[in-house]
Chain A
């Protein structure tokens, strides 16, 4: 890789860390002002005040906020997110398996989303205003208008209640390997796909329409190049770059928006862990999860920007000349 491009990427990475730091400050400050005392929430309303005080001391909550923040960030940087307040177990131990469940769910959705949206979008563009286009466009537009809990519920009614093919809830068992429970992921993945697919398909279709009517595509065709080659070597590369941003947006949405889908299917993931932690005033867990979600967002954007830079011959060549 050439120097200026590397520099550009390094700047982006530094900015990513700045973003993470800023978010951690904001979230930490917010938790300080959240009504309710974590220690009292853990021990119950009737707890002995001295026990509450002891618990506060044990978790270091009696120290000034700034000191608490820096000791927390110090731990976070070394992978130690502290201990969960109600259970006293390390945070990571509690949310680790749930984070894995969420990752399997979102990554599977994303891996299906990308190829599917390109195939559907380009097919719709090629057969613009014909049957294939309508068959693709109408359902995707309908699903994009529906919130994920509606899609999830409809899927449950259809596949679990009516057809009885799949379980209505996705109660994943931590002690069994995930591969043996893959059917539990089918409906949640379909729900996430339903809410994201439409937007990406619309974008791919719009970009592909523009590319298909470009003069250079006619020229390539009039050179006698086969339709398959035209599609793969000329239409596809010019369709990908403008759609990366849209895909990144949807990927980022998947990382955060997974919360609702998880609660519809009662899937033990990071989203449901977050809502549990908020209810219990379990601040170390809230902080850890928000940071993980933010990091995912930032990472997705970083990767998409890097891809756009790498795929653009203009930037690649211009920076390579110096």
Chain B
């Protein structure tokens, strides 16, 4: 008999407690040293499949039937104790969000040692494995580092540790659940390289779950595309990307934002000619902002014109979000000049006039946290509408409906609550609520980064429409390809300074600064 395939899943079905089918008839097999990427949007069941490989179902969900064989053993037939020997030992998991995946009151050294101890290691053997694991992910192996607590480490460092732990016990199967989604582009790149290197040297079977097709291109050998709990297409990466057979796969591939430099033609250049004639809505001069005594934005100047979208791009810690918060009055610890429609604007939100407050709106990254969960969609938007001074209930209702139309949400959502909507729909509600005040300037702070690609594409399309209507936008993001689709000009920020600024096409075609070139190279892309 030939060497057994380490991971075989046969007709896996999963249901939630109300009996709804979440995963339908999923079968996959992953050979030694092979990386299978499972791609799909949130709600496609990809994460459920990934976690089931550890014999685990999230609360409210159950594995109803099927077979998951790891190294010849069906883990679903194991008792709790036997299953635990597999979890972390023969099959390990790299989580999506490294910052919330470590026990907060235990040092990382202890958490690593705990894992090894649970799988039969002790004494000098344990110490040696630990040292080796840290070396593999380029982290220092000294007592001081091991004594650190999770909150003392960056997301990138924690993800390295999570990866080190996943490989530490030499498992046959390693499951990675969106391991780079929470990281910024430059970190993402190094983590991807690290994963690729470790996969090669470990010879484990890897299942890599992601919604980011560009990442798939870097790591995967084979691809399985999931939609509503089913695998709609499975095959070699090159084949799936070059000749997708399924409509849904084609749609996913089309929805990926591409750098304009690579695909000339789309949205951004239709307005380039008029770009110079923008009448300034916002002018920022010599803006300095501090957190406590630490200055994080060091005197930057830029402007946003009517109907213009300015992309503010940078990694985490670049000061881009702080800049957006200063503009909208949410960060008062700042100096410099803000000119809004020609008049000067104070930094403190409390000293701004009601009209100015309405004229400048912000949409945040995470709609889950910016919408009141106990308020229906209608209530959420109506409250914003009534701030314009409208009191007549029927008129407010009509306005709410027209706003929903404007963000292309169906009227049926009106009585629903945020929890009933998908991430993309929620973000559109947040945009509708911002538009209710008829703003002149919309600050978008990473508004698409929590969304799936296809949803992201829909939100971007919406923003393009709004831009045509004359709305000025400051689009804050770390996603360079995305911004190239909607922004006429780009500002690149690093460590609180603007390192490069200019027309989108110029910045992308002939980047002047080293950091811009690095960002362009780091952006994962197809082919």
Contacts and interface: CB of A to CB of B under 8 A. Distances in A.
B118 A226 contact: yes
Contacts of A313: 104-105, 149, 151
A314 B151 contact: yes
B101 interface: yes
Contacts of A227: 80
A109 B87 CA distance: 43
Contacts of B84: 224-226
Interface string B43-64: 0000000010010101100000
Interface string B79-102: 010001111110011010100111
Given A213-B59, A225-B114, A234 B89 contact: no
Given A217-B103, A225-B118, 7 more contacts: A219-B95, A220-B114, A223-B115, A223-B165, A226-B118, A233-B106, A237-B106
In the A-B complex, the 6 residue pairs with the closest CB atoms: A224-B88, A223-B88, A224-B87, A224-B84, A215-B100, A219-B101
B399 to A, nearest CB: 39
A233 to B, nearest CB: 7
Nearest to A240: B105
Contacts of A225: 84, 88, 114-115, 118
B56 A238 contact: no
B59 A222 contact: no
Given A213-B59, A229-B114, A317-B149, A222 B93 contact: yes
B285 interface: no
A216 interface: yes
A314 B59 CA distance: 30
A237 B105 contact: yes
Given A213-B59, A224-B86, A234 B106 contact: yes
B155 to A, nearest CB: 14
Contact of B103 (A222, A234, A314, A317): A234
Contacts of B87: 221-224
A234 B106 CA distance: 8
B97 A215 contact: yes
B444 to A, nearest CB: 28
Contacts of A314: 149, 151
Nearest to A213: B59
B119 interface: yes
Contacts of A220: 103, 111, 114
A35 to B, nearest CB: 51
B152 interface: yes
B105 A224 contact: no
A230 to B, nearest CB: 9
B104 A216 contact: yes
Contacts of A112: none
